[in-house]
Amino acid sequence: MAEEQDSRRASLFPAPPPFYTHFTPENKDKLKEFQASAAKDSDGDGGNASKKLPAELVCLIPPKPPTDQYHSFGQIWSLPERHPTLKELNIPQLFPEPNNESYNVDRAQELRRLSKSLLLNYLELVGIMGMSPEEYAEKVYHLRIHLINIHELINNYRPHQARETLIAMMEEQLEKTRQETEDNKKACAKIRVLMGSLSSFDAGGLLDTTADSSTTATSSAAADTSDAATAAAAAANSHSGSNGASSGGEERDKSSWEALQQAGLIQ
């Protein structure tokens, strides 16, 4: 039985646990009934309802979430999740415990020291292999410890690098935002300049053309009603508004819009 369970746990796609057959609609209903009656009873005597629960119903109540550690795929995980220290893994630690001050300087120094030591150990291993090859085990063990320590040190460094990367990204974002603000301000200034020049310019150039169109336009009462409200500013010669004139106006509107787009003011 135990072997069977082991093989089930170790297989790549384990079979479902045997109690899955208990999850039937009838059992669910039974559980509900049971809980309802238990709730009634529990007014009288404490909470030993689970003891009276029939075996096939026990599995229907989900277990409490683990608080200390749990097994998953044959491994033990601690809660809250964290990286096990070398000591917990029974591996000698070759670098000093971190002390908050100047930790990072130390870390680079330690890495350098360990890598040198690694090379030296290898040299010794090669020497041993030349003299008495059967004594390799100790040196290989040393090499192994060194490699593990280096990796551990590097992995401890990762949060530091993550923060560093975050800082770099935020600085980049800041730069981008400021650039965009700057561009927007420049565009606004350009528009202002253009508007200033237009107000002094339109009286001469554009009024001439409208005068032209107003002579061709016959009076039209229908157009007045729609335009009169908004055209107060231009009321001086506002008996235009016939189809011909307004289409001419649209053309001008369009061309000035294009001119603006060319100037890069409107995106």
Rounded to a whole number of angstroms, the minimum distance from the CB of residue 56 to another protein is 52
Q: HEC string of the chain?
A: CHHHHHHHHHCCCCCCCHHHHHCCHHHHHHHHHHHHHHHHHCCCCCCCHHHHCCHHHHCCCCCCCCCCEEEECCEEEECCCCCCCCCCCCCCCCCCCCCCCCHHHHHHHHHHHHHHHHHHHHHHHHHHHHHCHHHHHHHHHHHHHHHHHHHHHHHHHHHHHHHHHHHHHHHHHHHHHHHHHHHHHHHHHHHHHHHHHHHHHHHHHHHHHHHHHHHHCCCCHHHHHHHCCHHHHHHHHCCCCCHHHHHHHHHHHHHHHHHHHHCCCCC
- Distance between CA atoms of residues 155 and 161, nearest Å: 10
Q: Counting contacts by CB under 8 A, is residue 167 touching another protein?
A: yes
Q: Determine which residue in the list 6, 29, 135, 164 makes contact with another protein, applying CB under 8 A.
A: 164
Q: Counting contacts by CB under 8 A, is residue 115 touching another protein?
A: yes
Q: Determine which residue in the list 15, 39, 89, 234 makes contact with another protein, applying CB under 8 A.
A: 234
Q: Among 19-27, 46-54, 76-84, 175-183, which window interacts with another protein (CB under 8 A)?
A: 175-183
Q: Determine which residue in the list 36, 61, 174, 263 makes contact with another protein, applying CB under 8 A.
A: 174
- Distance between CA atoms of residues 215 and 207, nearest Å: 12
Total residues contacting another protein by CB under 8 A comes to: 72
Mask 124-163, x = binds another protein (CB under 8 A)?
A: -xx--x-------------x---x--xx--xx-xx-xx-x
Q: Counting contacts by CB under 8 A, is residue 58 touching another protein?
A: no
Q: Among 8-16, 35-43, 53-61, 251-259, which window interacts with another protein (CB under 8 A)?
A: 251-259
Those residues with Cβ within 8 angstroms of residue 125's Cβ, 6 or more apart along the chain or in another chain: 136, 139, 140, 143
Output 6 or 180, the one with its CB closest to another protein.
Answer: 180
Q: Counting contacts by CB under 8 A, is residue 263 touching another protein?
A: no
Rounded to a whole number of angstroms, the minimum distance from the CB of residue 253 to another protein is 5
Q: Determine which residue in the list 68, 73, 233, 262 makes contact with another protein, applying CB under 8 A.
A: 233
Q: Which of residues 80-109 bind another protein (CB under 8 A)?
A: 100-105, 108
Q: Which of residues 176-215 bind another protein (CB under 8 A)?
A: 177-178, 180-181, 184-185, 187-188, 191-192, 194-195, 198-199, 202, 206-207, 210
Q: Counting contacts by CB under 8 A, is residue 78 touching another protein?
A: no
